[in-house]
Amino acid sequence: MLLQITTPVPKDIPLALPLPEWLGVSLLIISFLLHIVFIHLMVGGSILTFWAQIRGLKDGRFDVLAHEIAKTITVNKSLAVVLGVAPLLSINTLYTVYFYSANALTGFVWIMIIPLVTIAFLLTYLHKYSWNSMKRTKRIHISIIGAATLIFLFIPTIFLTNVNLMMFPEKWGLVKGYLSALALPNVFPRYLEFLAGCISITGVFLVAYNSRKNYPFDEIYQGEFSREEVKRIGYYFAVLGFAAQILFGLLVVFTLPPKGITFELIGLMLSAGFSLMAALWWSYQSLRIVTLRGDTHLKKIIISVVVFLVFYGGSRQLYRHNALHKHQQLMAEHTASFNELSKKAREEAKLNQVKKQDESANNPFAAGEAVFQQNCSACHQLDQKIVGPPIKEMVSIYSGNEAALKQWIKAPGKKRPDYPQMPGFAQLSDQELQDLSQYILSFK
């Protein structure tokens, strides 16, 4: 499958990796997981805020809940962005050619990430800081977070499209822009699985956030909601999210293109699935017993999520490795042979230059010719108009009047109306000017 004429084999950046590959991969996975947790909280937080605020139209308690979640979005989004820099840096380093090629192929939408996310961020601030001033115009206020949420829902499709496309160089030739890359198998299942993750992780976050001892819960909710009720909401979303994640996770497995699948990969994915099941089970249990003031399962849920994330991050990386390593080998060989060719060409060019210099040693006008080639040849040639008049014409004007020629070169005037202005060459030394003029006037 790899030996196809439709699979491009570019050359790699011919500089050594700045760190051992295992270290780069570890940093990539760890920093990516940190980043993705906050992304989950940012996206999930906006969805939940939107939902709670709509319910809040009828039931005021939910409006307070929405406000509380909204306050976390702007913090989580800041952390999501900074934490995203490290995985970006690492994937750029380890997979330069693959990642940048995918970026370019989806380039227009890829760069739109910047203005879109900026707008979404500004909207979340607007939404948060206008909570009181827009009390009377709730629907407009809700549509602000609605717009931000839509953007937040759209952006992950761009990232998923890119990290998917980068693994399939054999498909690059078929792709014309973002939409066609989006349509490659496996992007949508991964997207659905991601969305489910946003819901589940934000649900768990909601429980943990409201379990904090120093969180002035009663002051905020004025007794309208009890902690248990809010935590139940969190568990409810956790159950929903985990269940959906398992379902979509299966879909991901079945739509994975076979080229990167190995037994180890299936093992990792199964382990990730089991961790999710554990989290689901405990969340479900908590939903039933939370009224008895029991948070006994929260720690276990968090641990299962962390374990899940590790398997999830690991399986992503393993698949990427499997999918690309043959191609990477080809690319390395291609790079090496190109560098060899380039080196030979360099040496050959050096030899030719030495030969040329030997030849010009016998040429009395060699020095002048060099100055001419360097400074004038782009605009002047022997007997043809380029930008300025040909040398022949210069000679006809200045033959026998070397001083005037030098004067013109130093500070040219404006003569021919249909020619542009010639730049002056005041910085040429007297010797250079002398050689140059003699060279020009040698064309009788």
Partner 1 sequence: MDFPMFHLDWLNDRFLIAIIAILHVFINHGLAVGFIPYIVWLERKGVKMASSNQITDTQWDDIVYRKMKIAFIITTSIGAMTGVGIWFSAALISPTSIGSLIRVFYWAWFIEWLVFVTEVVLILIYFLTWKSSNKSLKSKLRHINFGWFLAIFSWITMAIIVAILGFMMDPGNWNTDQNLLNGFTNPIYLPQLLFRTPVAMLVAGIFGMLLTSIMVSRKHQHRESLLRHAGQWVLTMIPFAVLGAIYYWKVMPAAMKANMSTAVGTIEFAQYYDLLRYFIIGACSTALVVGILAVVKASKIKTVYVFVACLGVFGFLGIFERVREFIRKPYIIGGYMYSNLLRVEDYPLYQRDGILKYATYSAIETITEENKLIAGKEVFMNTCSRCHTTQGVNGITQVFERMYGINKPFEANAMKVYIQNMHSARTYMPPFPGNEEELDALVAYIKNLQITGETLEGVQGSGIAISPHNNAKKVAESRMPSNSTQAPSLSQK
Q: Which of residues 370-409 bind ligand HEC (CB under 6 A)?
A: 375-376, 378-380, 387-389, 394, 397, 405, 408-409
The per-residue DSSP string of 104-163 comes to HHTHHHHHHHHHHHHHHHHHHHHHHHTTTTTGGGHHHHHHHHHHHHHHHHHHHHHHHHHH
Provide the Cα torsion 101, 106, 108, 114; round to 10°.
Answer: -80
Interaction partner, residue 88 (partner 1, ligand HEC, none; CB < 5-8 Å by kind): partner 1
Is 166 or 371 the residue whose CB approaches ligand HEC more closely? 371
Is the CA virtual torsion 163, 167, 169, 174 positive or negative? negative
Residue 11 near residue 335, CB atoms below 8 Å: yes
DSSP per-residue letters across 49-116: HHHHHHHHTT-HHHHHHHHHHHHHHHHHHHHHHHHHHHHHHHHHHHTHHHHHHHHHHTHHHHHHHHHH
Contacts of 35 (CB under 8 A, 6+ apart): 80, 83, 84, 86, 87
Is residue 338 involved in binding ligand HEC (CB under 6 A)?
Answer: no
Q: Residue 247's binding partner, choosing from partner 1, ligand HEC, none, with beta-carbon cut-off 5 to 8 A by kind? A: none
Name the residue among 87, 101, 109 with its Cα closest to residue 155.
109
Q: Tell me the per-residue interface mask from 404 to 443 with ligand HEC, x by CB under 6 A, - otherwise.
A: -x--xx----xxx--xx-xx-x----------x-------
Find the binder of partner 1 among 30, 61, 64, 100 (CB under 8 A). 100
Angstrom distance (rounded) from CA 407 to CA 405: 5
Q: Judged by CB under 8 A, which of 38, 50, 51, 121 binds partner 1?
A: 121
- The listed partner (ligand HEC, partner 1, none) that binds 176, CB under 5 to 8 Å by sort, is partner 1
Residue placing its CB nearer to ligand HEC in the complex, 148 or 394 = 394
Binding-residue total with partner 1 (CB under 8 A): 91
Supply the minimum distance, in Å, between the C-beta of residue 426 and partner 1: 9
Give strand pairing partners of 380: 385
Nearest alpha-carbon partner for 249 in 208, 196, 324, 299: 196
Site string for partner 1, 337-376 (x = CB under 8 A): xx--xx-xxx-xx-----------------------xxx-
Q: Which residues inside 37-96 make contact with ligand HEC, applying CB under 6 A?
A: none
> For residues 381-400, which are near partner 1 according to CB under 8 A?
381, 384-387
Q: How far is the CB of 409 from ligand HEC (least distance, A)?
A: 5
Stretch that binds partner 1, among 251-259, 283-291, 355-363, 380-388 (CB under 8 A): 380-388
Q: Which residues bind ligand HEC (CB under 6 A)?
A: 375-376, 378-380, 387-389, 394, 397, 405, 408-409, 414-416, 419-420, 422-423, 425, 436
